Amino acid sequence: MQPTKQSGLALHNEFSADSIEAKDLQHMLHPSTNLKQHGELGPKVHERAEGVYIWDNQGNQYLEGMAGLWCTAIGYGNEELADVAAQQMRKLSYSQLFAGRTNEPSVLLAEKLKSMVPFDAGRVFFGSSGSDANDTQMKLIWYYNNAIGRPQKKKIISRKRGYHGVTVASGSLTGLPAFHNAFDLPIAGVLHTTSPHYYSEGRDGESEAAFVDRVTNDLEQMILHEGPETVAAFIAEPILGAGGVIVPPENYYQKIQAVLEKYDIFFIDDEVICGFGRTGSAFGAETFGIKPTTMSVAKALSSAYLPISAVLIPEFMYEAFAAKSDELGNFGHGFTYSGHPVCAAVALRNLEIMQETNLFEHAKKMGEIFQARLRQFVGQPLVGEVRGAGLIAAVELVKQTQPRVPFQPSDGVGAFCSAACQDAGVILRNLGDSVAFCPPLIISEDQVHEMVDKFAVGLAKTQFWAKQSGFT
Ligand SMILES: Cc1ncc(COP(=O)(O)O)c(C=O)c1O
């Protein structure tokens, strides 16, 4: 989108030289940002936040409809978590897990996590981000297959439009060109199968059930083409988040899992967004009937009060690691901040608060109200598909709804809509022309209505603008 006042953003020449905005433009390299456009538009400075609301440095209040980056599950400004962090910093601000050392918060957090996940987890490995968790997943599966004597079984299959992070390995697992182009990714040994999005991938006259069969067959053909003895794992987010909040059709996971079982291929369940109540159950695996072999969690694990991630693996993998590391003299994987006691203490209390306040039940109820409200937009101009589960959803904006005719990416319709929503007082995120919603799980019924009402204002402005611009 061109830098205009209509977008609700100031132009860079409006900032005084000593402002944070001007200093940002001088010093920062922003992640996941159109750098040229940022240089023209300048930053939006967030200053404080409380509950589901966030304020910028101009005093404007926004409902945070994206929970930051899908992460601030229990909302902003929780005093108890601030106290837990301060106490832990005073008591033991840092300790390592290397060479058999340990600390109470991370051990108790591992125990708590194992009791919550819907599969038989044996051991927990801690990191700091979703990306490093998925890097760890790849390394652990390679190590495991080396340890049990099948060194050729190493390839990982991900999906187009999947998002698993940005490091060399997790960025390769990600199936979005923007994260590969000019970065020389993906690396060898990572493959991407068909995205399970019926609305954009389904063929003319193809039923949803036939689509699922085709996508399942694509996966099986890929495995057979590569050689099943070379394929170690399949990685999936239950709902594909950053790829556009894609909800796979009914029976998709059941059919995919049958293929994986046939060829002895692990299922890495990436619950970095879906974990901890987001989709109407505690984990996305429960919402969709997935049987994970291993799991990655991050984001809502600490409600983003501090950075922490975890990889959960079954005991049989751990037993193989123990034997192999004895042979090699060391299990050579780990981060300085694996099991950071302050992050672990905050995450543990965050999970306890979620349980004590029945947050997942609340999120499920709010999710039902939210999904029903959002579906009322079906049939409006530009609204191609409304999709989601629980408190995560997207509205896909298209030139023509049935059959789907998308806008040109250069029209910038999704970007216009999210900027218009921001002007209306709600932060949403456009993923291409899909406008995503993912509010903090503590959102109240009134706030759900406020969020959707504000989106309606942004959508109406977008419908008018698209017509005026000759896009429709
Ligand atoms: C499903 C999923 N996996 C992994 C990641 C990567 O997490 P991080 O940004 O903490 O590295 C993300 C981030 O959005 C994600 O959505």
Query: 267: helix, coil or strand?
Result: strand
Region 11-21: mean pLDDT is 83
Residue 391 Cβ contacting ligand 1 at under 6 Å: no
Give the distance (Å) from ligand 1 centre to CA of residue 459. Answer: 28
d(CA 394, CA 434): 6
| Torsion 72-78-80-86 (CA) sign | positive
CB atoms within 10 A of CB 406: 16
In this structure, the residue with its CA closest to atom 16 of ligand 1 is 273
Mind listing the pLDDT tens digit for each residue in 361-375? 999 999 999 999 999
Mutate to test the pocket of ligand 1, among 32, 69, 126, 131 (most ligand atoms within 8 A of CB): 131
CATH of the domain spanning 79-356? 3.40.640.10
Q: Does the CB atom of residue 125 touch ligand 1 within 6 A?
A: no
Asked if residue 135 has its Cβ within 6 Å of ligand 1, the reply is: no
129 CB under 6 A from ligand 1?
Answer: yes
From CA 18, how far away is CA 21, in angstroms rounded?
8
CA-nearest of 144, 94, 93, 458 to 315 is: 144
- Please tell me if the CB atom of residue 337 comes closer than 6 angstroms to any atom of ligand 1: no
CATH of domain 44-77+359-468: 3.90.1150.10
**% of the chain exceeding 90 in pLDDT:** 96
Query: 403 preceded by cis ω (within 30°)?
Result: yes
Summarised one tens digit per residue, pLDDT across range 104-143 is 999 999 999 999 999 999 999 999 999 999 999 999 999 9
Distance of alpha carbon 421 from alpha carbon 460, whole angstroms: 10
Under 8 Å between Cβ of 344 and 308: yes
**Residues in contact with 453: Cβ distance below 8 Å, sequence separation at least 6, in sequence order:** none
Rg of the chain taking only CA atoms, in angstroms:
23
pLDDT digits (tens, 9 = 90+) for 162-181: 999 999 999 999 999 999 99
Give the strand pairing for 426-427 and 61-64: parallel
| Tokens encoding 372 | 């029903």
**Beta carbon of 273 within 6 Å of any ligand 1 atom:** yes
Task: Report domain extents, the chain.
Answer: 44-77+359-468, 79-356
With a 6 Å cutoff on the Cβ, whether 269 touches ligand 1 is: no
Q: How far is the CA of 165 from the centre of ligand 1 (A)?
A: 5
- Is the CB–ligand 1 distance for residue 164 below 6 Å? yes
386-401, pLDDT tens digit by residue?
A: 999 999 999 999 999 9
Q: Tell me the average pLDDT of the chain.
A: 96
Q: What's the whole-model pTM score? A: 0.96
Can you tell me which atom of ligand 1 is nearest the CA of 162?
A: 1
For residue 360, give the H/E element and its range.
helix 359-375
